[in-house]
Amino acid sequence: MDLKGKCVLLGVTGGIAAYKMANVASALRKLGADVEVIMTKNATQFITPITFETLTGHKCMVDTFDRDFKFEVTHISLAKKADVILVAPATANVIANMAHGIADDMLTTTVLAAKCPKLVSPAMNTGMLENPITQDNIATLERYGFTVIPSESGVLACKDVGSGRLPKEDVLIEYILHTIARPKDLAGVRVTVTAGPTQEALDPVRYLTNHSTGKMGYALARAAAMRGADVTLIHGETALPPVKFTTDVPVTTAQDLYEAVTGRFDTTDVLIMAAAVADYRPVTVASDKIKKKDGDLSIPVERTPDILGTIGPQKTHQFLCGFSMETKDLVENSSAKLAKKNLDMVVANNLKVAGAGFGVDTNVVTFITPDGTRELPLMSKADVADAILDEILKPFLLLFPCKHDADGTGAGVTADGGADVCFPAFLEVAVFLQARFHGLHAAGLRLAGGNEHQPILDVIPVGQTVGDVLAHADGQAAAVFFAHFQLAVDYFQG
């Protein structure tokens, strides 16, 4: 996942953590982003502008009235150029100014003029952060559409212990990636992913498990979240960090996993079973440690619940994707699983193929669907995850490819108000939801109007129709939507 073609504007204010933003700027450049930096005057007391200029290749702006000899208004041009703004560390003073529209320096002036997504990462003394005034200002920013990145807790520079630390650099970058790295073509889709191994206890000390690390399932959860899905990650014990922007549900046994999946199945749209679930468990679990004795030990086992075998015949609107790890007869065994369990897709891989299997960052998979099979080459698990999501969406995407996407957003209305000549991705997904799920839940229907970052339509509430929501949209946006939606209706009916 990269940020090629994206512009990230970093706003650095006068907090002790300002030095960390040099690492953020460097990492963003390595991801391919065009990075611009604006510093407040106080920030220059902690780190010099030349540091950011060296890392980004751009002049670091500080003074609103800097005579840079460009025939443009700098704060306006930066506001238009940015795909996302991150203000970090954000001091109490700058947060207060942004919350109340006070534009008294280059940073706050640019933020006020920008229409792109804005991220704010508060970093300050615990007492300042927890002061009701600061909390009100943060809530005001959220009400105006800013995304506030929670502060971390720990020992602060002032030696106090509490909240107010700037999050680690990789956390800030993850928020940027989530905001702009991928089109939100899964917005409104409720995706459940299972990952990792299960553990079946023998006694208080030992258990039966497998070699799964959860890497494939975690990659799927992250990819779906990056694409706007409402993701629930149900996982066994792993050494992996939590996946941000997901609902985390830890489990231990196959029975735990069965209950977690079946209990959420009615409110799931797409279920991807990437977990390595134990097929058998001990019939009884010893209350004390089983002591070593002479001779062999025999442990009676019984079948664990068949999760896909149970829910496959019960599915209504859900898309079910199973995983199949084999050591021989890959396609034959996986095709049998597809039919037997009433699945829409099976992702199969052979443990004996180099680069596939447990504990590695790559995979070699074969997609098996009712329409046939498709083999993929050796890929990173992150790329495999996106390929799986693309395959899941494929049957529902309309056959109207973008012939002309004027501003590169995939949106039906360009940033300057003109219309793209295409069927936009977010409307494809809207029709997918309407056709597949029959309005059983809030559909993620978005229509950009005037600027791709300011959706006219957000989410259709349960009980409302498309018309109800469009009644509050502007005329041009509604007209563009109806034209595209009619194409969709004609396609599905014809």
Summarize pLDDT for 229-246 with one digit per residue, the tens.
Answer: 999 999 999 999 999 999
* pLDDT for position 472: 52
- Using pLDDT thresholds of 50, 70 and 90, give the confidence band for residue 337: very high
* pLDDT for position 394: 78
Instruction: Look up the pTM and report it.
Output: 0.79
Mean pLDDT (whole number) for 184-195: 90
The Cα–Cα gap between 229 and 231 comes to 6
Q: Please check the confidence at residue 158 and state whether its pLDDT lies above 90.
A: no
Q: Please check the confidence at residue 468 and state whether its pLDDT lies above 90.
A: no
Name the more confident of 461 and 260.
260
The Cα–Cα gap between 298 and 153 comes to 50
Share of the chain above pLDDT 70, in %: 77
* pLDDT for position 482: 53
Q: Please check the confidence at residue 174 and state whether its pLDDT lies above 50.
A: yes
Share of the chain above pLDDT 90, in %: 65
Mean pLDDT (whole number) for 302-320: 93
- Using pLDDT thresholds of 50, 70 and 90, give the confidence band for residue 339: very high
What residues are paired with 368 via a beta bridge? 346, 373
Q: Give buried/exposed letters for 73-84 (b at 16+ CB in 10 A, else e).
A: ebbeebbbebbb
Beta-strand pair 451-457/447-449? antiparallel
Summarize pLDDT for 279-308 with one digit per residue, the tens.
Answer: 999 999 999 999 998 889 999 999 999 999
* pLDDT for position 69: 46
* pLDDT for position 486: 52
Q: Please check the confidence at residue 479 and state whether its pLDDT lies above 90.
A: no
Mean pLDDT (whole number) for 92-115: 95
First to last CA, the chain: 37
Q: Please check the confidence at residue 2 and state whether its pLDDT lies above 50.
A: yes
Q: Check: CB of residue 482 under 8 Å from CB of residue 469.
A: no
Mean pLDDT (whole number) for 429-457: 37
Mean pLDDT (the chain, rounded): 82
The Cα–Cα gap between 362 and 385 comes to 11
* pLDDT for position 321: 96
* pLDDT for position 75: 63
* Active-site residue set: 158
Name the more confident of 176 and 2.
176
Q: Please check the confidence at residue 225 and state whether its pLDDT lies above 90.
A: yes
